[in-house]
Amino acid sequence: MKKMFYIFILLCRFTILYANESNEAEFGKANNLYKENHFEKAIVSYKAILNSGYESSELYFNLANAYYKSDSIAAAILYYEKAKKLAPFDEDVIVNLKIANLKIKDKIEQHDEFVLFRWVNTFILTKSADKWAVQSIFSFFVSCSLIVLYMLAKTIGRKKLLFTLTILFFLIAFSSFFFASKNYTTQQSSNTGVLFLELVQVNSAPNEKATSLFEIHLGTTFTVLERNGNYSRIKLQNTNEGWIKSSAYRSI
């Protein structure tokens, strides 16, 4: 039984190593095709890697570049946004996304957000939820260790120092836990889409006979608030809301 178990583990490791090597080879092939200006073929290779279950900001970024060079602006924005989701502070991703957005017809100004909230949200996204969680656990164990040292300390000066450090690390642990939770919730609840049709009328209700409120064009990015049958209620960056068919966009 043990031999079968070890064989199974070895087979799993071999499969993972083979998949990684295969993806690396395919990624190199796709990059070479891109350098040779064979953008459509590069797209096929990049998407083959995605279909294998692998994803990374670099893969999404290169795929977006290939779509951009192929004049598929909506697809380029979609994959730049996917890359940004994994690497929110990557300058190359941010710059290229801005350039791609210059190509779309709708120039929607973002609704002003309270500065303090924007700073806090930006700070929370500087680390992944996992890193915040690790920092929280580490700080908690440090604070527990400091409590033990506090109890063993014999001088008032040392007790005061250890008490202060205990409170400090406890606050770091608590705030890091909060940031981890907030980061995870934001990533999970973030449901955005990119329009893939040239022109769509945004209606007041989820049906074709509803009043048309405004129109949006190819490549426009928005938040998906809810779904009702074949329709989705969306919200633009300027806070305008309405209903469109779910088939008109792709989720990021």
**Residue 57 corresponds to which amino acid?**
S
May I ask the CATH architecture of the domain 2-101?
A: Alpha Horseshoe (1.25)
Identify the band that residue 95 occupies on the pLDDT scale cut at 50, 70 and 90. Answer: very high
**Tens-digit pLDDT profile for residues 13-25:** 434 334 456 688 8
Residue 130: the pLDDT is 81
**Tens-digit pLDDT profile for residues 104-157:** 998 877 555 555 666 776 677 667 778 888 999 999 999 999 999 989 888 898
Mean pLDDT of the chain: 85
Residue 21: the pLDDT is 62
Res. 43: pLDDT tops 70:
yes
Q: Residue 71 region, left (φ>0) first, then alpha (ψ -120 to 50), else beta?
A: left
What is the C-alpha to C-alpha distance for residues 18 and 163, in angstroms, rounded to an integer?
Answer: 53
Identify the band that residue 68 occupies on the pLDDT scale cut at 50, 70 and 90. Answer: very high
Q: Do 39 and 70 touch, CB atoms closer than 8 A?
A: yes
Instruction: Give the residue, 19 or 230, on which the prediction is more confident.
Output: 230
Residue 208: the pLDDT is 87
May I ask the CATH architecture of the domain 192-251?
A: Roll (2.30)
Res. 49: pLDDT tops 90:
yes
> Under DSSP, is residue 222 helix (H, G, I), strand (E, B) or coil?
strand
Res. 195: pLDDT tops 50:
yes
Residue 2: the pLDDT is 46
Q: Percent of the chain scored above 90 by pLDDT?
A: 58
Residue 135: the pLDDT is 92
Run of H or E residues at 228: strand 221-228
Res. 6: pLDDT tops 50:
no
Q: What burial letters (b/e) apply to 94-124, b meaning 16+ CB within 10 Å?
A: eebbeebbeebebebeeeeeeeeeeeeeeeb
Instruction: Give the residue, 24 or 171, on which the prediction is more confident.
Output: 171
Alpha-carbon distances, residue 157 vs 24, 86, 160 (angstroms): 58, 47, 5
